[in-house]
Structure 1
Amino acid sequence: MAGQTPTLVLVHEPERACFERLLAEGFDRRAATEITSYLAQSTDLAPEFDAIGEACARRGIRFRAVELDEAAGVLAACDRSGTLVWTLTDGIAYFRGGAAPALARLNGLATVGADDSVFALCQDKFRSGAVLGALGLPVPTAGLARGGHWLVEPPASPAGYFVKPNRLGAKVGIWEDSRIAKAGEALALGRRVQDAYRDDVVVQPYVAGRNVRASFLAVDPAAGPEVLGIAFVDSGGDFQTMADSMALYGETGAAARGEGRYAEPELVPVASAQPRAAETIRRIAATLMAGLGLRDVFSLDLRVEADDTVHLIEFEVSPGLPCFDFRAYCRSQWGMSLAESMAETAARRVG
């Protein structure tokens, strides 16, 4: 309707709703708690909804946070000409947020982020790895196991292997023993993941190097890979486990803060130490934007070796906005808080 105030709709799936659904599906409480930790960004961002609303109001935009279970009705009633939908939490299996961009498309609404087909792709590590490989990107070739059986055996790897659930995020199902020496050892881990989470495991050749997170937010719609924030994430270990991740976010992260156990990994700009690797990562991002349709907001997880060899591990189209690394990126790249960055991104698209 002409004259309506432009609106930013943020669709998110709360931890509690997912937890109760998983219990109803027969998961035990421990596994349900671990799985739903992926949705901690909803918990962590909720206290800032007022700040986001105020930042939007200063730019002439209305802000509305909508829980996923209400999204179908809300989006069906939105004004097509002045609504922008931002999906905070994704998912196609344990989580259902990938439905939000599809609902937006169904109702003819503009969105922040990649289209809904990419939301589905990124949640399946084995399938997305195959697509990334087809694009010529440096992603480790993976095997796939279901319980104690191979669906696809991994290639030979003298350096050993790394095993992780296929459709879970936030390091869920990654333990201290997830790095193994021989491919056959993956089957025992596969049985453990299947018993706990009902998921397959991806088995990738182990790649050396430091962990890197590349963050992207196109506050300016014309921005490209040059605004990518690329940082080493040094947590003190070779890789981050589920326990490490859960201590940073959501209710467990809040408890860790209260008990004085909270410690953020150190962020170090890659360009300051390995500028050639940083440029390689920008080229990888450019390929993903052109070939896969990543846009507006996304993140990449990579490993960088001392000789500047870069390995792309996976990508996210709904990165953890309230996470420490993305907040740091907004401050360093855009000179704004997370709330201001989100509001400005929306204003430049619907204002």
Structure 2
Amino acid sequence: MPLPPHELVLIYEPEAACRRLLLADGHGDRQALEISSYLAQSTDLALEFDEIAAACAQRGISFRPVMLDDASAYLSTVDTARCLVWTLTDGIAYFRGGAAPALARLRGIPTIGSDDTLFALCQDKFRAGAVLKALGLPVPEAGLARDGDWIAPPPESTSGYFVKPNRLGAKIGIWVDSRCDSADKALELSRRIFADYRDDAVVQSYVAGRNVRASFLAVSPAAGNQELGVFFVDSGADFQTMSDSMALYGDTGAGARAEGFYAEPELRPVLAAQPEADRRIREIGAALMRKLGLRDVFSFDLRVEADNTVHLIEFEVCPGLPCFDFRAYCRSQWGMSLAAAIAETAANRLLV
């Protein structure tokens, strides 16, 4: 009797499912829409499931996208020796994707991506920053506030502060005034964050420079920091806000594109303009892999000053695969479409 085909299982949490849970938990309509927009890559990548399936079939493996709520039941049926789990979105608080790699570990199924403990760490910016600092990485000093009270006061900063929710991504809770000059203003912003999202606020010392995104996909299992894609992300502003992000992706982004409000930031290789900064960023990438344990697929955000000073802002274990920057990385580094890069990565793990 022939063996069943090797299978890539992609587990994802839909925006609509997340919104239903947020509304049931008492969040307002606007807040539920904003928070669930973090899962926009699930909406966008679903449009390419057929293309991914075809790319996988060309490599002799099958592709099965599975919604998070169905994951436990489905994983109980697979041949664990011929299956690979790829978790599309993380989450431990407002989102639940961090459960997927844990379910795979419980069943003894190999995964694409970092250890499931890092799925929890990356969703807590304050704790993640403390760990990165302890590992000797160049992260800005930060404090933590809850609804106008300091949990951990930030150090004095002559450059002011940048305030953002602690457990939310995709620029949720980042407004045009999120950069502020005083600790009192930072506490005021923490009250707004708590009122809107019930979240603590990370208060980082503001650091100057251009925004940089470093992306990584180990299409080849031997890939290392030289396979990072390191790009300036120029949006025409000092930083992107929640409204900027919601105009790019998912359910809300589809409406923005239909109405002509879609505008992608420009990507420029850091190597071309600041080779020393590029070298330092790749060293940071190597440290994140060696010291923190990032692997397979991840991204991290930085600020780079004109004198090549590099500031590590945060890391992400589930980068936005269908986002413009990750697609550009797959094309420039691997010469592949997103679907082909996903399929090739999975085949190089399964067919060994």
Q: TM-score over 0.5 for the alignment?
A: yes
In the TM superposition, residue 66 of structure 1 has moved relative to its aligned partner by 0.3
Residue type of the partner of 1:307? D
In the TM superposition, residue 252 of structure 1 has moved relative to its aligned partner by 1.6
Residue type of the partner of 2:181? A
Instruction: Give me the whole-angstrom Cα distance separating, in 1, the residues matched to 2:287 and 2:79.
Output: 34
Residue in 1 aligned with 2:259? 259
Instruction: Give me the whole-angstrom Cα distance separating, in 2, the residues matched to 1:115 and 1:75.
Output: 18
Residue in 2 aligned with 1:126? 126
Instruction: Give me the whole-angstrom Cα distance separating, in 2, the residues matched to 1:59 and 1:350.
Output: 10
Structure 1: 4+ residue segments shifted above 6 A: none
In the TM superposition, residue 111 of structure 1 has moved relative to its aligned partner by 0.2
In the TM superposition, residue 253 of structure 1 has moved relative to its aligned partner by 1.2
In the TM superposition, residue 345 of structure 1 has moved relative to its aligned partner by 0.1
In the TM superposition, residue 2 of structure 1 has moved relative to its aligned partner by 7.4
Instruction: Give me the whole-angstrom Cα distance separating, in 1, the residues matched to 2:4 and 2:250.
Output: 35
In the TM superposition, residue 202 of structure 1 has moved relative to its aligned partner by 0.2
In the TM superposition, residue 80 of structure 1 has moved relative to its aligned partner by 1.1
- Structure 1 unmatched ranges of 5 or more: none
- Aligned-residue identity in percent: 70
Instruction: Give me the whole-angstrom Cα distance separating, in 2, the residues matched to 1:285 and 1:75.
Output: 32
Residue in 1 aligned with 2:171? 171
Residue in 2 aligned with 1:332? 332
Instruction: Give me the whole-angstrom Cα distance separating, in 2, the residues matched to 1:174 and 1:310.
Output: 22
Alignment of 1:303-322 (within 5 A): 303-322=303-322
**TM-superposition CA deviations, 1:175-234 (whole Å, max 9, x none):** 000000011211111110101100000000000000000000000000000000000000
Instruction: Look up the SS of the partner of 2:285 in the other structure.
Output: helix
Deviates more, 1:180-189 or 1:195-204: 180-189
Residue in 1 aligned with 2:190? 190
Residue type of the partner of 1:58? Q
Instruction: Give me the whole-angstrom Cα distance separating, in 2, the residues matched to 1:95 and 1:252.
Output: 18
Instruction: Look up the SS of the partner of 1:11 in the other structure.
Output: strand
Residue in 1 aligned with 2:63? 63
Residue in 2 aligned with 1:302? 302
Q: Does 1:145 align with 2:161?
A: no
Q: Does 1:239 align with 2:239?
A: yes
Residue in 1 aligned with 2:217? 217
In the TM superposition, residue 271 of structure 1 has moved relative to its aligned partner by 0.3
Alignment of 1:63-82 (within 5 A): 63-82=63-82
Residue in 1 aligned with 2:108? 108
- Structure 2 unmatched ranges of 5 or more: none
**TM-superposition CA deviations, 1:70-106 (whole Å, max 9, x none):** 0111112211111000000110000000000000000
Residue in 2 aligned with 1:18? 18
**TM-superposition CA deviations, 1:32-63 (whole Å, max 9, x none):** 00000000000000010000000000000000
Instruction: Look up the SS of the partner of 1:21 in the other structure.
Output: helix
In the TM superposition, residue 141 of structure 1 has moved relative to its aligned partner by 1.4
Instruction: Look up the SS of the partner of 1:262 in the other structure.
Output: coil
Report the TM-score when normalising by structure 1: 0.99
**TM-superposition CA deviations, 1:312-331 (whole Å, max 9, x none):** 00000000000000000000
Instruction: Give me the whole-angstrom Cα distance separating, in 2, the residues matched to 1:205 and 1:45.
Output: 35
Instruction: Give me the whole-angstrom Cα distance separating, in 2, the residues matched to 1:69 and 1:166.
Output: 25
Residue in 2 aligned with 1:162? 162
Residue in 1 aligned with 2:89? 89
Pairs aligned (count):
351
Instruction: Give me the whole-angstrom Cα distance separating, in 2, the residues matched to 1:238 and 1:73.
Output: 45
Residue type of the partner of 2:118? V
In the TM superposition, residue 4 of structure 1 has moved relative to its aligned partner by 1.9
Instruction: Give me the whole-angstrom Cα distance separating, in 1, the residues matched to 2:171 and 2:268.
Output: 21
Instruction: Give me the whole-angstrom Cα distance separating, in 1, the residues matched to 2:348 and 2:63.
Output: 14
Instruction: Give me the whole-angstrom Cα distance separating, in 1, the residues matched to 2:98 and 2:91.
Output: 5
Q: What is the CA RMSD across the aligned residues, in angstroms?
A: 0.8
Residue type of the partner of 1:124? D
In the TM superposition, residue 259 of structure 1 has moved relative to its aligned partner by 1.3
Instruction: Give me the whole-angstrom Cα distance separating, in 2, the residues matched to 1:2 and 1:273.
Output: 55
Instruction: Give me the whole-angstrom Cα distance separating, in 2, the residues matched to 1:248 and 1:273.
Output: 27
Shift of the 180–344 alpha-carbon distance from structure 1 to 2, 3 Å rule, reads same
Instruction: Give me the whole-angstrom Cα distance separating, in 1, the residues matched to 2:284 and 2:162.
Output: 22
Instruction: Give me the whole-angstrom Cα distance separating, in 1, the residues matched to 2:54 and 2:176.
Output: 43
Residue type of the partner of 2:105? R
